[in-house]
Structure 1
Amino acid sequence: MASTSNPDPELVRRMCEVIVHRGPDGAGFHSDEGVALGMRRLAIIDVATGDQPVYNEDKRIVAVFNGEIYNFGELREMLIAKGHRLRTAGDSECLVHLYEEFGEDLVHHLRGMFAFAIWDRDRRRLVLARDRVGKKPLYWRSDHSSIWFGSELKSLTRDPGMRREIDPVALDHYLTYQYVPAPWSIYQDVHKLPPGHVLVWEGGTVTVERYWELDRTQRSVVDPREEEQRLRELLLDATRVRMVSERPIGAFLSGGVDSSAVVAAMAMQSSNPVKTFCIGFEDSRYDERHKARMVADRYATDHHELVVTSNLLDILPRLAWHFDEPFADSSAIPSFYVAQLSRQHVTVALNGDGGDECFGGYQRYALMNQARRIPVVPRPLAGLLGRTGTLMSQRSASRSLSRRLGRLMTFVAAHPSQRYARLMSYFTPEQRSEIYSDSLQEALAGVDSYRLLEDIFHGSSAKTDLGRVLDVDTFTYLPGDLLVKVDITTMANSLEARSPFLDHHIMEWAATLPSALHVRNGQTKMLLKRAVAPWLPPQLLHYPKQGFGVPLAAWLRGELRELVFDALTDDTARGRGLFRPSAVQELLRRHMDGVDHSVRLWALLQFELWNRAHAAPDDTVVSGAGCHA
């Protein structure tokens, strides 16, 4: 924290103690007039001398840092050539010297994932920054004289002076998208620093500015084979720099194209067998172990598998504690278990995150690409079509054909930006209106959660709808859902995750490719699949995308039935005054009768479990999770 008065170093120590899982290998602190900094260390690079905080030569600049700077070798050479004296052999110390050279523009020189704080003692100036795509989290809050910040929201709640009042807009976004997007947090007084932004605090004044975004101006491509070769080169390089570690390293291997390509790139650049980790389910519809084994066999990896047969009643409270905000992506469960399995063998794990957002991997991209052929519906007719479709969707809950027809009518009537917002939503505006209490509806008067996505869609530099929705996902779904899920589940197990596809060199290069190299004729990830075809078993390229799904609907009708009824209908839940009890009961009844409302019930359940996990002053972790291999 920084303050115009005297900050509390003991508070900072408590803030660090509660996130010991992020850094079990040590702690570091600095305090002087105006600032108190602290950090927890997971030692991976420069294990012997890489402790933090780090200082410049006269200790007028001090920094703490979470993440990895992959180009630290080149940065060190450049700084030494400019006359700087570095006492360590790692990446952290580069930050203070880069700040001396470039000020807050130092972020443009960094290749990696990071959240850092730099204190300039002479100017009594604090600089906070987050990496381009949001791999590493950063929460903050400020009043007129002080600023508090941390990697997890639970650190900020150590301050007894912080109000824990739920932000109704954040709650509305959460139920729409299953996560709380930046810059909101679930609490009114706390913010997330968005990806690719720098925050400067000076004299009690906060300034936040964006420093990075993708340019989606498409370039002409003469020979796609040259692009395939260039992609292979970029992926090999991005993987190589992420294999630097003094601790054991491995990879998540789901059997999808992205993680398989990363494992292939690792194997081609490693003198030892790559350690790979895969999670499976007894339900074959959600089990991808057979695909992962194809890649593991091809590259003779040291392969490890785990079948999740956990008692969900044990793991859900633990996840609710680690996720400091309500989070409804149910794939957090297998993500936690693959991280837990991996940590038994390695400290660093590479993954395939970002491949879909860079190269057009989701089926919804193909749908949006095909929908561009739908002629614009005149406004009066669009309104009528949309209202009719909404009514059919709502009133035909037990008739799937009518419900699908209603959704199609609503989709056709909408502008492309709103079409995509509806595709990405889990509760539609109509469904949220049904369950919200009168007081919550009043608090949300005039709020339109779809505007979050629509504004990015309209502000994109892309000239195609496909490029615009790739922008939307890159700045919302990717950092708000996928990267939060991976950061929290890996850090809960003291494991570092690295993502070669999220190297900004790959992202910036991919953003300029013609849309037809991403999605064409209903086929997704065209260029990527062709580029990595020489690396992977042929049949792997033709499997439909499965995702990291779980049998959620069956769970809620089976082993979680009692929990979901108790949690959503007892006096505690009713007493919050946020949702209409009768509407929640109706959702439960419909789901148990066979209409799939699992994603909506899961979102409500996770919100309630989050409330209960973080209501106690000590935020006690409920531990225990049963699996067998």
Structure 2
Amino acid sequence: MAKSLELIKHRGPDEKGTYFSSCGRCGKLHFYNSCMESELTIAMHPALGHIRLSIIGLDDGQQPLSNHDQSIHTVVNGELYGYKDIKADLESKGHVFKTATDSEIVLCLYEEYGISFLNHLRGEYAICIWDSKRKRFFLARDRFGIKPLYYTQIKGTLFAASEIKAFLPFGWESEWDVDSILQGGVLFDMRTAFKGVSCLSPGHYLMATPTGNVQIEQYWSASYPNKTIKETRSADEMIQGVRGRLVDAIEQRLVADVPVGIYLSGGIDSSCIAGIVKHLKEKSNIQTKTKAFALAFVDDDDFNEGHIARRTAEFCNADFQVLQVTESDLLDNFEDSVWHVEQFHFNLNSVGKFMLSKMVRDQGFKVVLTGEGSDEHFGGYVHFQADYLLEPDLSAPDGIQLLTEKEREKKLDMFSQQKEFKKHSKTDFADDGNDSHRKMLNNISLPSLLGSSFSLSSQYYSKMAVEQYGSPNPALTIAKSMNGVNRARAATDWHPLHTSLDTALHSFFSNYLLCPLGDRVEMAHSIEARTPFLDHILCEYINGLPPSIKIHPNKGGPLIEKWILKEAVKPYVTQEIYERTKAPFFAPPTKEPNPKFMDLLSKFLTRKNIDRLGWIRYDKVSEAITTYLKTNDLRTYQDLLIITSYIILSIRFNVAPYKPSRFVSSFNGAVDSCSTQ
């Protein structure tokens, strides 16, 4: 246990605590628990471990926490908002609190409502509860997957943790899940790169009992209105609805016993947070300046938003600090950042966020507000526009001037010809002829766009791996990541834009934007990021708005992304930010082969290391390096980063070389035999 906690102490350097059952047997790590099992029964001998980043209840918030009779024990990772009101309500029902921390409400809510206590939580969290009376072990993850939660079995014992590396001291022997790697499970569903290690899905809980039953259930899911029912609210009413809920979400996330900063970019999401924080401070007559932090890429002015962020900081009367980085700086931090995120990098974005978090921690901060989740609810990315155009918006309220069918089809044709996509990426977004993912999700383009953009090119996989697991089809993996009930709704009830937004939330968003670009690079340096745009009360309201309120028709020009957000936050941002179009956060592509990048390739992409993986072709890697030196091709650069990431993981986790399963080979042979009879 101590070694496990030590491996992830970056997540909570302030304190650590453990709980062992009366038998004294252990089998857990960071903040979750284990069950000792045989072939027929599970003998419950739990152990809990916790490392603390103290933010609320600085003096008495140690974990694990236990109830009054020591029958229920819990560890909580994250923040629970509105906890003071919940405490007051529970105290009126007779519950007694021993600490000033927000985490303690989990114990009393569980006592009061059982496993339905999750419906009363607001915030980001990963929770473990050991109920000794019911002999019940319980895990839960927040609605969007802001906080990570992994689980696996080691020699018949169930383990769960915030990071996979915490399993290593308990005897976990890492192996590649080549099927997950080939099919895109690492980014697009709840698998990882490691066999037998999974993420608990956002909005789900896991419950294990002494009978050997392990049950995973969904407790929350996004929902959207019927696309044929006309909206009766006015646009102004909906703008006010978004504004009020967003201001409340930000105000809730300013509650802390330590200073709260802001990650500021040149976009409307972080800018409006900064502006609303200024408004709330003025309203409360708080004189202290907010600290705003930004990342600037000095190699390329096209990707450097530092000057825009500085003007926003001045407008918001914020104390502004910018971290300027070069491509060489990012490459110097590449290896360590891969170890922390435990999955591959396809660009250097996560490395930049990794470095920014270190700078923020060095400035003495533990908490920042960030803008993640806005694009996935308001339709901020260009691919959402393509899916918006697939069908007319029959639900639009009066007063919204819609495109004619001819205008809509003309704009849609621009996307189908890839004219719009090519403005934003050099990636080829065309389908490969397999359109099953489109049929599953009402013809939306999102799966093929994400699948082709962020996956390793198929030519690098070994013939043996492809024969065993099939040709890579990450688009199909994305489509399958949505549950069957929601796929049925997408087919008949939801507008394609809403189908696209929901699909993004269930795949790339939780597995990449909230993980290697979110919690994992922030907590690598003990930074807690709070995400107002993922307040579920706000999100449920946004989900209920018609598509043309999010992506606004514009007869005279391009579609207006995130229209209602822009209108809702107009009082809090500069005119420059209000009028600016979406610019995705990207580290700039290299203009010519960087010597440090070539050194990185020379260090890791050796024949010995490639052969140790067992599922990558060395000849194709060698060809790619030669091609890259000649062409500086962006896609080749991306592929080489991905493969280098896997080599680093292979070394750091001592992953066993991949060997094909004889069972699967035999099974495939049997299927082939049957199919020819």
TM-score after normalising by structure 2:
0.80
1:372 Cα offset (Å): 4.7
Residues 304, 459 of structure 1: CA spacing in aligned structure 2 closer, same or farther, 3 A cutoff? farther
Contact map agreement 1:18 1:155 (CA 8 A) in 2: yes
Contact map agreement 1:372 1:465 (CA 8 A) in 2: yes
- Paired residue for 1:304? 321
- Paired residue for 2:357? 339
- Paired residue for 1:451? 476
1:550 Cα offset (Å): 1.2
Matched, 1:351 2:370: yes
| Equivalent position amino acid for 1:443 in 2 | Q
- Paired residue for 2:463? 438
1:614 Cα offset (Å): 2.5
CA offsets 1:90-117 (integer angstroms, 9 cap, x no match)? 2111111111111111111100110011
| Equivalent position amino acid for 1:170 in 2 | S
Residues 193, 528 of structure 1: CA spacing in aligned structure 2 closer, same or farther, 3 A cutoff? same
Contact map agreement 1:68 1:91 (CA 8 A) in 2: yes
- Paired residue for 1:601? 640
Structure 2 unpaired stretches of 5+: 24-44, 393-404, 407-415, 418-422, 554-558, 657-677
- Paired residue for 1:467? 498
> What SS does the aligned partner of 2:604 have?
helix
> What SS does the aligned partner of 1:552 have?
coil
Residues 280, 372 of structure 1: CA spacing in aligned structure 2 closer, same or farther, 3 A cutoff? same
Q: How does 1:194-343 map to 2 (within 5 A)?
A: 194-203=201-210, 204-218=212-226, 220-270=231-281, 271=286, 272-282=288-298, 283-309=300-326, 310-343=328-361
1:583 Cα offset (Å): 2.3
Residues 140, 605 of structure 1: CA spacing in aligned structure 2 closer, same or farther, 3 A cutoff? same
1:169 Cα offset (Å): 2.1
Using the alignment, how far apart are the partners of 1:558 and 1:372 within structure 2? 49
Contact map agreement 2:152 2:159 (CA 8 A) in 1: yes
- Paired residue for 1:92? 103
Residues 108, 263 of structure 1: CA spacing in aligned structure 2 closer, same or farther, 3 A cutoff? same
- Paired residue for 1:508? 540
| Equivalent position amino acid for 1:307 in 2 | Q
Matched, 1:498 2:538: no
Contact map agreement 1:16 1:40 (CA 8 A) in 2: yes
Out of 67, 70, 82, which is 1:71 matched to? Answer: 82
Using the alignment, how far apart are the partners of 1:243 and 1:523 within structure 2? 30
Contact map agreement 2:388 2:547 (CA 8 A) in 1: no
Using the alignment, how far apart are the partners of 2:263 and 2:330 within structure 1? 22
Residues 148, 569 of structure 1: CA spacing in aligned structure 2 closer, same or farther, 3 A cutoff? same
> What SS does the aligned partner of 1:207 have?
strand
| Equivalent position amino acid for 2:643 in 1 | L
> What SS does the aligned partner of 1:158 have?
helix
Matched, 1:421 2:413: no
Identity of matched residues, %: 29
- Paired residue for 2:660? none
Q: How does 1:535-574 map to 2 (within 5 A)?
A: 535-554=572-591, 556-574=593-611
- Greater shift, 340-349 or 54-63, is seen at 340-349
Using the alignment, how far apart are the partners of 2:497 and 2:461 within structure 1? 33
- Paired residue for 1:172? 182
TM-score after normalising by structure 1:
0.86
Residues 74, 540 of structure 1: CA spacing in aligned structure 2 closer, same or farther, 3 A cutoff? same
- Paired residue for 1:623? none
Using the alignment, how far apart are the partners of 1:404 and 1:602 within structure 2? 16
1:576 Cα offset (Å): 2.4
Contact map agreement 1:352 1:501 (CA 8 A) in 2: yes
- Paired residue for 2:14? 25
| Equivalent position amino acid for 1:163 in 2 | E
1:439 Cα offset (Å): 1.6
> What SS does the aligned partner of 1:96 have?
helix
Contact map agreement 1:28 1:40 (CA 8 A) in 2: yes
CA offsets 1:152-188 (integer angstroms, 9 cap, x no match)? 101012212x2311101221244xx8x4444212211
Structure 1 unpaired stretches of 5+: 1-11, 376-385, 390-399, 618-629
- Greater shift, 582-591 or 335-344, is seen at 582-591
Matched, 1:478 2:509: yes
- Paired residue for 2:568? 531
Using the alignment, how far apart are the partners of 2:139 and 2:502 within structure 1? 24
Using the alignment, how far apart are the partners of 2:313 and 2:444 within structure 1? 42
Contact map agreement 1:221 1:514 (CA 8 A) in 2: no
Residues 411, 122 of structure 1: CA spacing in aligned structure 2 closer, same or farther, 3 A cutoff? closer
Using the alignment, how far apart are the partners of 1:406 and 1:294 within structure 2? 36
Using the alignment, how far apart are the partners of 1:278 and 1:427 within structure 2? 26
Give the paired residue count: 579
Using the alignment, how far apart are the partners of 1:194 and 1:304 within structure 2? 36
Using the alignment, how far apart are the partners of 2:265 and 2:469 within structure 1? 40
| Equivalent position amino acid for 1:318 in 2 | D
Matched, 1:153 2:164: yes
Contact map agreement 1:185 1:191 (CA 8 A) in 2: yes
Using the alignment, how far apart are the partners of 1:256 and 1:154 within structure 2? 34
> What SS does the aligned partner of 2:77 have?
strand
Using the alignment, how far apart are the partners of 1:409 and 1:171 within structure 2? 19
> CA RMSD, aligned part only?
2.9
> What SS does the aligned partner of 1:422 have?
helix
1:446 Cα offset (Å): 7.5
Contact map agreement 2:145 2:203 (CA 8 A) in 1: yes
